């Protein structure tokens, strides 16, 4: 049975040593290591030996798995590749399968270990921003605050789970505060109101993803199989590649609803747009 996740809108003793807030060598005058500004180390966990190794980070984008292979094939030394991984990190899948892939490509075990150590944390969630726009009829018509199809859904299948975002259009209409005017027709300017939401969606399976956007009269849709046939036909579908790791994991959904000319309480999902950023 498919699982579902639904999104609704002491004291510790620390030892810190600061150095200037700029890129610098981490070696001290005596040949040791200096801790960069803002770094802290829990003295309770310190056994009196050397502090954990620190690395000078570059402002460049992280390497990719293919980039590591390209450096190896270009006959960069292992020390140079490891140093580059220390400086830039790696936006890559550090799974066992990826490590085996690197090994078969001839990459040394020392480089593979460095890739595993300096890889960015795997993506486990998606920061979602939703903008709902409501276009009225124009003139002096008062936009309806009711909606027969009163629920906006965004469903992203995630392995055995369906990640479901659920938005109440009635509440969105009530809180829509920012209004702009569409002057395409000079004789019939239309007010467009916007309501925005922010949600954090757990998303653990990486790779090619599809997202379904639709409106429904039903407030109890928990999986893709629950979608009524009429709503499924009107659903808008998007696809995107969800990387194993990245500097950011953010998607923005924009949905335009247009008020029905004859029935004021009907808002039609006219179009939507999904855009994601990873780097």
Choose from 8-12, 140-144, 244-248, 262-266 the range with maximum mean pLDDT. 244-248
Residues 272 and 181 in one domain: yes
Residues 63 and 49 in one domain: no
Residues 94 and 107 in one domain: yes
Please, are residues 261 and 136 in contact by the beta-carbon 8 Å criterion? no
Work out the percent of the chain whose per-residue pLDDT is above 70.
77
Residues 98 and 178 in one domain: no
Residues 133 and 215 in one domain: yes
pLDDT at 8: 43
Please, are residues 278 and 249 in contact by the beta-carbon 8 Å criterion? yes
pLDDT at 268: 84
Average pLDDT over residues 169-181: 74
Q: How confident is the model at residue 105 (pLDDT cuts 50, 70, 90)?
A: very high
Range with lowest mean pLDDT among 19-28, 218-227, 259-268: 19-28
Residues 27 and 158 in one domain: no
Residues 195 and 102 in one domain: no
Model's pTM, two decimal places? 0.72
Residues 227 and 116 in one domain: no
Does 1 reside within a domain?
no
pLDDT at 31: 39
Q: How confident is the model at residue 16 (pLDDT cuts 50, 70, 90)?
A: very low
Residues 161 and 68 in one domain: no
Question: What is the token pair recorded at 80?
Answer: 């140079």
pLDDT at 261: 78
pLDDT at 150: 83
Does 5 reside within a domain?
no
Residues 101 and 228 in one domain: no
pLDDT at 262: 80
- Tally of domains in the chain: 3
Question: Considering all CA atoms of the chain, what is the largest pairwise distance in Å, rounded to the nearest integer?
Answer: 81
What is the residue range of 170's domain? 125-277
Q: What is the pLDDT of residues 24-72, one digit of tens each?
A: 333 433 434 445 544 555 666 666 666 667 777 888 999 999 999 999 9
Residue 3 pLDDT > 70? no
Does 70 reside within a domain?
yes
Does 193 reside within a domain?
yes
pLDDT at 52: 66
Question: What is the token pair recorded at 32?
Answer: 């040791």
Which candidate, 202, 172, 143, 198, places its Cα nearest to that of 5? 202
Please, are residues 191 and 181 in contact by the beta-carbon 8 Å criterion? yes
**Concatenated DSSP letters of 39-85:** --EEGGG--SSPPPP--PPPSSPPB-HHHHHHHHHTT--HHHHHHHH
Residues 141 and 194 in one domain: yes
Does 143 reside within a domain?
yes
Residues 271 and 140 in one domain: yes
**What mean pLDDT value characterizes the chain?**
80
pLDDT at 17: 31
pLDDT at 188: 75
Among the three residues 25, 41, 56, which one is the final residue of a domain in this structure?
Answer: 56
Q: How confident is the model at residue 118 (pLDDT cuts 50, 70, 90)?
A: very high
List residues bridging with 197 in a β-sheet: 130
Average pLDDT over residues 116-133: 92
Average pLDDT over residues 101-122: 94
Q: What is the pLDDT of residues 192-235, one digit of tens each?
A: 888 888 889 899 999 999 999 999 999 999 999 999 999 999 89
Please, are residues 122 and 95 in contact by the beta-carbon 8 Å criterion? no
Among the three residues 120, 140, 157, which one is the final residue of a domain in this structure?
Answer: 120
């Amino acid at each position: 049975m498919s699982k579902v996740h639904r999104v609704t809108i002491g004291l510790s003793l620390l030892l810190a040593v600061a150095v200037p807030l700029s890129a610098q060598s981490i070696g001290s005058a005596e040949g040791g290591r200096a801790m960069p500004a803002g770094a802290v180390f829990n003295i309770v966990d310190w056994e009196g030996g050397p502090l954990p190794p620190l690395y000078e980070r570059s402002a460049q984008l992280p390497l990719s798995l293919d980039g590591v292979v390209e450096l190896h094939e270009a006959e960069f030394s292992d020390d140079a590749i490891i140093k580059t991984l220390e400086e830039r990190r790696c936006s890559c899948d550090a799974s066992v399968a990826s490590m085996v892939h690197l090994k078969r490509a001839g990459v040394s075990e020392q480089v593979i270990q460095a890739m595993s150590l300096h890889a960015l944390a795997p993506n486990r969630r998606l920061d979602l921003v939703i903008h709902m726009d409501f276009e009225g009829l124009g003139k002096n018509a008062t936009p309806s605050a009711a909606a027969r199809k009163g629920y906006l859904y965004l469903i992203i299948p995630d392995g055995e789970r369906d990640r479901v975002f659920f938005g109440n259009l009635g509440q969105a209409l009530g809180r829509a505060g920012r209004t702009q005017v569409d002057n395409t027709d000079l004789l019939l300017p239309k007010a467009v109101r916007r309501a925005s939401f922010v949600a954090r969606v757990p998303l653990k399976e990486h790779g090619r993803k599809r997202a379904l956007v639709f409106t429904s009269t039903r407030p109890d849709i928990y999986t893709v199989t629950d979608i009524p046939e009429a709503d499924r036909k009107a659903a808008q579908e998007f696809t995107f590649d969800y990387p194993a790791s990245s500097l950011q994991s953010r998607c923005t959904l924009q949905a335009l609803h247009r008020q029905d000319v004859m029935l004021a309480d009907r808002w039609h999902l006219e179009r939507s747009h999904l855009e994601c950023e990873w780097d």
